[in-house]
Structure formats: C-alpha cells, structure tokens
Homo-oligomer: A and B are copies of this chain.
Amino acid sequence: MPKSASPDLIQVDWEPIGKRVQIEAGKTLLAASQEAGIELISICGGIASCDSCKVKLISGVLSVPEFDETNMLYEDEIDSGIRLACQAVPLEDVRIYVPAESLTTPQRLQVEGQSVEIEIDPVIKVVEVKMDEPSLTDLRADAKRLKDALEAEGLNPESARISILKNLPEQLRSQEWSASAVVRHEEIISILPPKSKLFGVAVDIGTTKLAAYLVDLENGETIAKVGDMNPQIAYGEDVISRIAYTNENKNGGKVLQESLVESLNGLFETLCTETKITTDQVVEVVAVGNTAMHHIFAGLPVKQLGRSPYVPAVSEAIDIRANEIGLRIAPGGYVHLPPNIAGYVGSDHVAIYLATDLWKEDRVVVALDIGTNTEITLAAGGKLLSCSCASGPAFEGAHIHDGMRAAPGAIERVQIEADEVRYQTIANQPPVGICGSGILDIVAELRKAEIVDKRGGLRKDHPKVRKNGKVPEYLLIGADETGHGRDIIVTRKDINEIQLAKAAIRAGVEILFNRANISAEDVDEFIIAGAFGTYIDVVNGIRVGIFPDIPITRFKQIGNAAGVGAKQMLISQKRRRIAGEIRDQVDYIELTTDKSFQKEFMKAMYL
C-alpha cells in the first residue's frame, strides 16, 4: 500500500460509499468518517461500550485492538477484520468497508443495494435514423418511410404501435425527418428526438413501501432513487386485508390499482424532474412485488389468492403496456413483470435470487426478505426450497404503541444497561417514537437485562416498569427528554407483537431446515434482505430468536436486493431469462397447511 503524499496525513477510502478523506495521523476512523461526512452510528458516543460503529478493514494497517474493543466484538468478527471505528486508528493509508447497518438511515438508503457486475444487454435498442422528406415523387406513408429507414439500419421491426403512430407525422416533421427510434424486440415502441438518451425505472412494490430507481440504460447506472409509502395502506395494512377489500368492494381491485399507479406516476415525475429528463425518455419499467401486489398492479384478480390452494392468476413473466394501466412513461413503453413462484412468494423474491446469485449456489444458504410478508428460501443440495410467512407490519413500526416509520426522530438503535437507556435517533433529532430496528433492539436488550422474561412478560418490580390500568409497561424515555413532550413507552402488547412476528419468521426457517434435513449449524451463509433487515442489529435478532444462533460472520445484510434484482432485469435480457428458469427450480412449501407449523410457531414464541 503506497504511503500518502504528505507524511503527516493518512488517506482513508470509504467503501462502498466511494468517499476519500485525508486525516491527521492518530485520529480514529470515527473522526475520519465525520470529516468525510459519513454518518456512522455511535450510540455510546465513542467510548467502546456499544458495537454500533462497526466497520471492516479491506486493506492497509490499523492500530491493534485493545481490551475495550475486543470485549465488544465476537472473536470471528475480529478475525474477519471487523473493528469499532471509535477505537481503530489508521497507521497508514487504509480502505474501509462500512456495513449498511452502521450507517444512519438516510445514508443507508444511499448505499443499499450495491449490485454485482452484469453485462448490459437491455431489451431496448435505440437506432438513429434519417429520412427523406415526402414529395410528389416519394409518397410513402410516414410509417413506411420510418420502417424503410430502420431496415436500412439492418433492423426488421414489425409495424409500429398505434400510440407511436399517433405522434409520428408531427414528430418527423418537427424533427426534420431525423429521429431516435426505440425498438423493443421487433417493435418500435417510441420515436424520440435524435440522439435521445434512454432510461428505465426499476420498481419494488412492497406491501408497505414503494421504491423506484431510475437507471441509465446505456451504462446500467442508477442515477436517482426515490421511495414512498404504498398508498394502498389506506385500504388494509397487509396482503390479506387488501384481498378482502377487493372481495368486498365491486371496484376494489381498480381502486387499489389506481391509487398505486398514481403514486408511482408521482415517483416517476420526481425522478425525471431531479435528473432533468422527460418521461418520454423512460422507455421500460421492471416492477417486482409479492404476488398480491403484482396482481393488483397488473389489474389481475386476487380473490383466488385468498382461498386454498392460493394459486396465482399468472406465474410467468408478463409484459404490459404502460398506458394500459395508466403509467406515464414513453407512450409505447412496457412494464415487465417478472415471474412469481406461488401465491405468497412473488417476483420480488425471484429478484432476490438474481441479486444474490442464490440460484447457482452450491453451499447451504438461507435468503430471507423481512417485510409485512416475509419470504424465505433455503438453498441446499442444489435445490431451492421456499415458503412465506405473515410476519405483519410490526417491524415497519406499525401496531407498536409508540411505533413510527424510519423518519427523523425515530429511535433506531437502543442499548439498555441496568437502568440506563442509550439510544440513537434518525438524523439525531430528539426522540418521538420507535422504528422497527429500535423496537427489536429494545426487546433484545430488555430480555438481556432480564426486565422481560422468556414469555415476554415485564418484570413488575423493575423501577421503570409501571402499570397502566392492569397492563404493565416499560418507560423507555421520559417526557422531559422526548421531542414531543410525552413519555415513550414499551407495552406488554408491543413485546407480544414482536414475538408473533419473529415466531412466524423463525417457524418458517425451521420448517425449511426440517424439509431439507439440515440443521442451523450447516448454514454457510444467512442472507437478510429488505430495508428493515438491513437496519437491524443481527446480534439482537439472534438474541430475540428471529435468526438461529450461528456465528455472526455468516450473516450478510444486503439491503433492498429485490430492487437490485429488478434493476438487473431492466438492463439485461439474460437476467430475465434466468428469472424464468429459476422459477421452475423452486419447491414451494405452503405453511398454512403444514402440519408442523403450529408446533414450530409456538416454540419460536419464546424470547
């Protein structure tokens, strides 16, 4: 490793953020991160009494860890180069990897979903054409003229669609008979001004959250990202209640579809405004989501998803014209909806297979996407076993007394030592509520401190446990310290919500283990996908019992992998083909009819 140019300055490269900073010798990595504008979490304030600022050395040399630091880390973490940023001091130029969970929420959103390198081969091609002006000796129709020009470029496109033809005469004349022709397979889907740059949008439609990524189709780069809540929440919090809504309301499906499309149109507009492009330049969308979201988005019925044997209307990939569902992109543009696996394992999970290359895995790997619905796949012995569990919205902050979504002022990390509560809020605002990762930490810490027993009951003699009527509750932060002047509390019911959610997930994992006849120790890698899954402290996840107790280094938090997979399918036809092939490799296990589910679920309720 080369030394820095100046002997007094040491260079720190931060990955995957891509920032570089030069610091004075002797400063810690935490100080270096602050100089670089990187928001590492530091619950304890940099005194090595928590492990929230964990980073990993990629190259270069750091100071040897002392007792305070090694005390906070697992041995195999230390072996793999994990350090506390508040303790480690670079001795020469270093390259440091920041795991997403060590970043505050806003910064995490920027780095999540780093993708593997794939060859760029989108379904969309652009061809520049130049035509002769019509004259009395050349009376070819505009469409024929264009087609001839495309054929001269070696293409043989089918007749263009009516939505293109509508604007063609005006466009060709105003563009002086030059154009960028956007071709999808054999079809001309759009005519744009000459030398237009083309973009696609990858969309992840979660039951609770939407995410949209604007991708440059030429180089595959994500140039903007935007997220929002799924507006369908107003019609039901989870998949089951939305299906019920469509069953009970004549145009329910249409109402849900339109509210979703309207939100997506808003997100698309934001993406285009931010990057100064027109919606006409957005020529392809790939949307992934669970099967119910997929069906509602496409305008397909979901009634049959609500009754046994819960089969989808469609499981293969479909292409819908964007204007057929009211999505505002280039008039001839398509929405590609990748295949889904079963009624409760959707295309978002297929996207995760792509993002993780799980489909070609020869080790034993678990991939788990925590959401309102949690999908789990076990890759073992060259096979993929999958299931789905109704984990509910507790991890999104819903159904929790002082719960909130991950927004400024949300408590996202908590440490409880004896009576002292340490916490970190998003954007360092005074606390106003608890988001998913916060409530998980709280339950884990309360259990560790034995304020909560293994059944989830609060120890009534603890000084911070009080009674509200007959129900005990734990005073997390007093009104004098909060942003809204009210106590922030944790109720018995909050703990129970977390127990139900984690038991559903863990029972699913255990049933897959049983089916594949393996045990937790056999797992080589345990992948946690999804926004919430990326924010949580895995150690607390193990402590609470969401995850089996295997070495911490085997866990991998990968962020919104569904979005990453969707982006891959946006820029690569090969990835779309693979998605279709994967689908047929997967064995789906229906948990609702699995005999051992109830037993595993009850067992997993214990903390």
Contacts and interface: CB of A to CB of B under 8 A. Distances in A.
Interface string A300-329: 110110001111111111111000110000
Interface in A114-146: 134-136, 139-144
Most buried by B among A134, A300, A325: A300
Contacts of A169: 300-301, 303-304, 313
Contacts of A593: 136
A299 B323 CA distance: 15
Contacts of A317: 159
Given A170-B301, A588-B139, A313 B134 contact: no
Contacts of A165: 298, 300, 313-314, 318
Say how many copies of this protein the assembly contains: 2
B316 A140 contact: no
Contact of A159 (B167, B170, B309, B316): B316
A303 B159 CA distance: 21
A142 B324 contact: no
A316 B301 CA distance: 37
B313 A143 contact: yes
A168 interface: yes
Contacts of A134: 309, 311
A173 interface: yes
A313 B136 contact: no
27 contacts: A134-B309, A135-B309, A136-B309, A139-B309, A139-B311, A139-B343, A139-B590, A140-B311, A141-B312, A141-B313, A142-B304, A142-B311, A143-B314, A144-B314, A144-B316, A159-B317, A159-B319, A162-B318, A162-B320, A162-B324, A165-B314, A166-B299, A166-B300, A168-B313, A169-B303, A170-B301, A170-B303
A313 B142 contact: yes
Contacts of A316: 141, 143-144, 147, 159
A242 B418 CA distance: 85
Contacts of A325: 162
A184 to B, nearest CB: 15
A302 to B, nearest CB: 9
A342 interface: yes
A227 to B, nearest CB: 26
Given A142-B313, A168-B313, 13 more contacts: A136-B309, A139-B343, A140-B311, A141-B311, A141-B314, A141-B316, A142-B311, A142-B312, A143-B314, A162-B324, A169-B303, A170-B301, A173-B304
Given A143-B316, A316-B143, A162 B311 contact: no
**A-B pairs with the 5 shortest C-beta distances?**
A141-B315, A141-B312, A143-B314, A169-B304, A134-B311
Given A139-B588, A141-B315, A162 B308 contact: no
Nearest to A162: B320
A301 to B, nearest CB: 5
A159 B318 contact: yes
Interface in A146-184: 147, 159, 162, 165-170, 173
B315 A140 contact: yes
Contacts of A135: 309
Contacts of A140: 311, 315
A176 B246 CA distance: 23
B141 A308 contact: no
A189 to B, nearest CB: 15
A588 B593 CA distance: 71
Contacts of A308: 136
Nearest to A303: B169
B298 A162 contact: yes
Interface in A343-370: 343
B144 A315 contact: yes
A239 B203 CA distance: 46
A584 B461 CA distance: 94
A317 B325 CA distance: 26
Contact of A301 (B166, B301, B313): B166
B142 A342 contact: no
